[in-house]
Structure 1
């Protein structure tokens, strides 16, 4: 059974600051290209079957015990396990999902360790944020 909101687990060696930077950048790319929330695996306390897919960094996924274990678990569970190179098969979103305007860089947003895809142009994103804030400030 998968999580109600499809997510992708991104694995690689996160035991060093440089490794964490690389895997975090890969998760950004996953969210951008696959248009799914991407979670950076920190340690091995994850049930890989709760994710739609596992994307691994071919250069570092066997570089730490944690990422190697997660990769084996995902492979043995017969999940969608993708090499980061496979992301090239996914097109980048180039238009706003709200107004349809061309948007060269609808970049994902990092929220509490998960990259969320954002397919809104800067103007619509600003408007959505202002709308959310005004709703939050209305007394019940």
Structure 2
């Protein structure tokens, strides 16, 4: 029904010069992971291989990106022919039929209604058990600058069985 596909892992780039910039980038990567339904790595350095990712999301318009890390990674992605998604305008933001706000990428169905990645069945599975979020809600865990989707039950089991494990969740 939809021509879009959701990649399993994306890179998110943007300014990183100040602590506030890093917080904004981390927050945008969380929005990307939540709304697109993928693992989203926020780039704090330019030593990533962009071809290890399916797409690159940019926090700001490319003409406003003056940070070396973001510019280098975006240029590498464009040179490799990868999809590079600039942020949509606030006017394009909408709410899915299920109620989730769509601020990263709004997809409108043939009938004119807005559909999120989960309603389109385009979400990645749990990073722990690889099952889809059919019956159990997914949590997003921040691990090594990557927001990773994981079932709440899998997360609780991991915390209970791995002494001293630390998980940072949204």
Give the TM-score normalised by the residue count of structure 1.
Answer: 0.70
1:129 aligns with 2:132: no
Q: Does structure 2 retain, via aligned residues, the 8 Å contact 1:10–1:54?
A: yes
Q: Which structure has more helix as a fraction of its residues?
A: 1
Number of positions where the alignment pairs a residue of Structure 1 with one of Structure 2 = 123
* Aligned counterparts of 2:9 and 2:41: Cα–Cα separation in 1: 7
Q: Following TM superposition, by how much is the alpha carbon of 1:126 offset from its aligned partner in structure 2, in angstroms?
A: 5.9
The corresponding residue for 1:137 is: none
* Aligned counterparts of 1:79 and 1:99: Cα–Cα separation in 2: 30
Q: Following TM superposition, by how much is the alpha carbon of 1:87 offset from its aligned partner in structure 2, in angstroms?
A: 2.4
Q: Following TM superposition, by how much is the alpha carbon of 1:132 offset from its aligned partner in structure 2, in angstroms?
A: 4.7
1:112 aligns with 2:144: yes
CA RMSD of aligned residues (A): 3.1
Q: Following TM superposition, by how much is the alpha carbon of 1:131 offset from its aligned partner in structure 2, in angstroms?
A: 7.0
- In structure 1, the gaps of 5 or more residues are 135-140
Alpha-carbon deviations, 1:98-125, whole Å to 9, x = none? Answer: 6726x5xx4411112210023x3x5x34
* Aligned counterparts of 1:130 and 1:42: Cα–Cα separation in 2: 27
Alignment of 1:3-82 (within 5 A): 6-59=8-61, 62-82=65-85
Give the TM-score normalised by the residue count of structure 2.
Answer: 0.59
Residues 47, 130 of structure 1: alpha-carbon distance in 2 compared, 3 angstrom cutoff: closer
Q: Following TM superposition, by how much is the alpha carbon of 1:55 offset from its aligned partner in structure 2, in angstroms?
A: 0.5
Q: Following TM superposition, by how much is the alpha carbon of 1:72 offset from its aligned partner in structure 2, in angstroms?
A: 1.2
Q: Does structure 2 retain, via aligned residues, the 8 Å contact 1:26–1:84?
A: no
* Aligned counterparts of 2:16 and 2:158: Cα–Cα separation in 1: 32
Q: Following TM superposition, by how much is the alpha carbon of 1:18 offset from its aligned partner in structure 2, in angstroms?
A: 0.8
- In structure 2, the gaps of 5 or more residues are 1-6, 89-103, 108-114, 120-131, 164-170
Alpha-carbon deviations, 1:62-84, whole Å to 9, x = none? Answer: 12122111111111211011123
Q: Which structure has more strand as a fraction of its residues?
A: 2
Q: Following TM superposition, by how much is the alpha carbon of 1:128 offset from its aligned partner in structure 2, in angstroms?
A: 3.4
